[in-house]
Structure 1
Amino acid sequence: MQFKFIKYTKLWLTISLAIILIGFGAMVRNQIETGHILNWGIDFTGGSLMEYQFEDSVTTIVPQELSATIDQVLPSTVSQITVTGEGTYLIHARDLTEEELTQIREAIHAQYGNFEMLRFTTIGPKIGATLKQKAMMALAVALIAIVLYIAYAFRHVPKRVSAWRFGFCAILALIHDVLIAVGFFAIMRFEIDSLFITALLTIIGFSVHDTIVVFDRIRENLKKQSRDDTFGDIADISLNQTMTRSINTSISTLFPLVALYIWGAPSLHHFIFALIIGIIVGTYSSIFIASPVLTFWQEKKRIR
C-alpha cells in the first residue's frame, strides 16, 4: 500500500507556512525590542570578541557581574557575555582599541585575579558590512547555480514536462529550508555569524541532493508512465520508492551531529544546531514540498 503524498499537498504547505510565519513573527519581535530582525554577530556588524578563562580557584562568575566590572571602566561597551565552558567566558563588545583592551584586562584582573585570554578578535564596521554583503551574494549565487544545474541535468525529461520546473521547484524547497533555519535562529535569538552562513550552504547542499534523488526517480518513472497515470500518480510512486532512503540518510547524518552537539565544544553548538534543523527540514521539504509543488504546477498546466 502506497501513501498518497500529493493528496495532502495543502496540509504540507500549511505546516510549512505556519512555521515560517512564526519565524517572521520572531523577527518582528526582535526588530521592536532590539532594532534588528536578527542577532547579527561581529562578523557582519563589526566589533570585538574576547574569550577569557579564569583559574579554578575563582568562584563561578555571573556574566552580569563581569559585564558590570567592564562597564565601570568603559560604560556601554559589552553587548553580550556567553559562558562557553567551565570558567570560560566569551565577551561581545563594540570595536575596541588596544588601549581600551588593556583597561578591560586590568579591571578584570583587579576584580577576579589571574586569567588567560584565549582569543581576541576585532572587526571594523565597514569590513562587517562587506562580509554581510558577500555572504548574501554567496547564497544567491548558490541558488542560481542550482537552478541552472538542475535544468541542465533534467533536460531529457519528456517534452510535456519542463526541466526548468524541476529547477525552480528545487529552489523553492531550498528557500523554504533557509527561511525555517533563519526563523529558528530568530526565535532563539542565536547569533548570526559566518559559521551560520556556512551551515546554510551545507543545508542547501544536503537538501538539493535529497531533492534531486526524488526528481530523478520521477524522471525515470515518467518514461514508464501508462496512459491512465497522472503526473501526481507518478510523483506518489516516486516518493514512496525514495522515502526510506531519504529518511535513512538523514538519520545516519543526524547521529554524529547530535553527538557533536552534546559532547562537542560549546562554541560550535549554534553551528551544529543549525545543521540539525536544516537536515530535518531539508528531508521534509524534499519529500513534502518540492514534489507536491512540482505536481501542482504541472497538473495546473495540463488543465489549462
Structure 2
Amino acid sequence: MYLFKKTNIDFIGLRRIAFIISGILITSGIVSLILKGGPRLGLDFTGGIEIHLKFTQPPSITRIREGLKSIGLGGAIIQQYGPRDENLVLIRCGTKESAKERLAQKIQEALREEFKEKENAFSLQSIDMIGPKVSRELQKNALLAVILSLVGMLVYITWRFELRFAVGAVVALIHDVLITLGALSLGNFELTLPVIAALLTIIGYSLNDTIVIYDRIRENLRSYRKRRFSFRKIINLGINQSLSRTVITSLTTFVVVLALFLKGGPVIHGFSFALLVGVIVGTYSSSFVAAPIVYSWERKGGEGS
C-alpha cells in the first residue's frame, strides 16, 4: 500500500532549516531542564515507601486511587500483584524515612474511609522503604542502559553499512532522546523507569526507520552511481521512496500511542507522552537528520554535490 505514489521532496535542500528547528527544540528542552534543576525524578530514582495490603475482596484500583486523592496521593503507583485470588495490592509513593510510619497510617485511614461499607476490608502486610542507595543505583543503571544501546547501534550500523551512516544514525538517536527529555521537562512529567523504557523504545523505533531509509540509499548507490547520479540526488531519492512506508507506519503507531495517552490513566501518562513525542521526532529525524548528516559527511570528503 502506498500513501504517496511518487514524491520529489528535496530533503537535503531543507536540511539547514531542519537543523535550525532541531536546535531550537533541543535548546528549549535544555533550558527547561537547567531552570528546573534537572529532570523531575520519580519514585524509582528518589526513593520512597512501599506499602503492601491484602484485601478480603477483589480490590478496585479506581476506588483505592480515589481514597488516596483525599490525602493528596492521587499520583501514587498502585499495582495488584500475585495470584488474583490473594487480592494483594502494592502502593508506592515518595516520603522520607522518618515519616514512613505516619504516612502508612494516613493511607490506611484514607482507604478505610473509602471502603467504610465493609469492616476490615484490607489488612496491612508490610511497609518497605526504598532507600537513596537503591535509587542511585537505578539512576546509574538507567543511564548505562541508554549509553550502551547507543554504542551498540554505532557498532552495528558501522558493520552493516559504513561509519558515516552509523554516525548519522547515532546523532539522530541522541537528537530524539534530547528532544523527548526536553518535552518531558516542559510538560512537567516525572522521569521514571517506565519512561526510561519508553526512551529505549524510541531509540529502537527511530533506528528501524533510519535503517529502512539507509537500505534504500545503499541500493540506489549500487544502481544509480553508474548513471552518474549525484550523491545528493541518490539520498533524496532513497528518502522519497521510503516516505510512504514511513508515514503509514508512524501514523498507525501514533494513533495507538495517542489512545494509550488519552485512556491509559495518569500512572502511564509520562510513558505514553514520551512515546508520542518519540514517534513524531523519530520519524522526522530519520529523514531530516540522519540522512542529511550522511550527505554532509560525504560532501566534506569532496564527493557530494
**Normalising by structure 2, what TM-score?**
0.78
SS of the equivalent of 1:48 reads strand
Separation of aligned partners in 2, 1:84 and 1:92: 10
SS of the equivalent of 1:191 reads coil
Separation of aligned partners in 2, 1:56 and 1:298: 57
Q: CA deviation at 1:2?
A: 0.9
- Give CA deviations for 1:64-118 in whole Å, capped at 9, x if unaligned: x725xxxxxxxxxxxx753889xxx985323467633444346647987848799
Say which of 87, 94, 97 aligns to 2:96.
Answer: 94
Q: Is 1:253 aligned with 2:260?
A: no
Separation of aligned partners in 1, 2:147 and 2:60: 43
Q: Is 1:138 aligned with 2:145?
A: yes
Q: CA deviation at 1:122?
A: 3.7
Q: Is 1:82 aligned with 2:47?
A: no
Say which of 6, 9, 21 aligns to 1:3.
Answer: 9
Match for residue 66 of structure 1?
A: 71
Instruction: Give the ranges of 4+ consecutive aligned residues of structure 1 lying more than 3 Å apart after TM superposition.
Output: 49-58, 60-63, 89-92, 95-103, 105-122
**Normalising by structure 1, what TM-score?**
0.79
Query: Is there any run of 5+ residues in structure 2 with no aligned partner, and where?
Result: 1-6, 54-58, 79-90
Separation of aligned partners in 2, 1:21 and 1:132: 23
Q: Kindly tell me: are residues 293 and 57 of structure 1, through their superposed partners in 2, closer, same or farther at Cα, counting changes over 3 Å?
A: closer
SS of the equivalent of 1:66 reads coil
Say which of 131, 135, 140 aligns to 1:128.
Answer: 135
Match for residue 104 of structure 1?
A: 106
Separation of aligned partners in 1, 2:259 and 2:52: 25
Match for residue 231 of structure 1?
A: 231
2:261 touches 2:269 (CA, 8 Å); kept in 1?
A: yes
SS of the equivalent of 1:246 reads helix
Q: Kindly tell me: are residues 150 and 96 of structure 1, through their superposed partners in 2, closer, same or farther at Cα, counting changes over 3 Å?
A: farther
Separation of aligned partners in 1, 2:122 and 2:25: 43
1:207 touches 1:279 (CA, 8 Å); kept in 2?
A: yes
Instruction: Write the mapping of 1:1-304 to structure 2, written as runs, cut at 5 A.
Output: 2-31=8-37, 37-48=38-49, 66-67=71-72, 82=75, 91-95=93-97, 99-105=101-107, 108=110, 114=116, 122-154=129-161, 163-224=162-223, 225-226=225-226, 228-302=228-302
Q: CA deviation at 1:189?
A: 1.4
Q: Kindly tell me: are residues 2 and 112 of structure 1, through their superposed partners in 2, closer, same or farther at Cα, counting changes over 3 Å?
A: closer
2:257 touches 2:276 (CA, 8 Å); kept in 1?
A: yes
Separation of aligned partners in 1, 2:93 and 2:109: 14
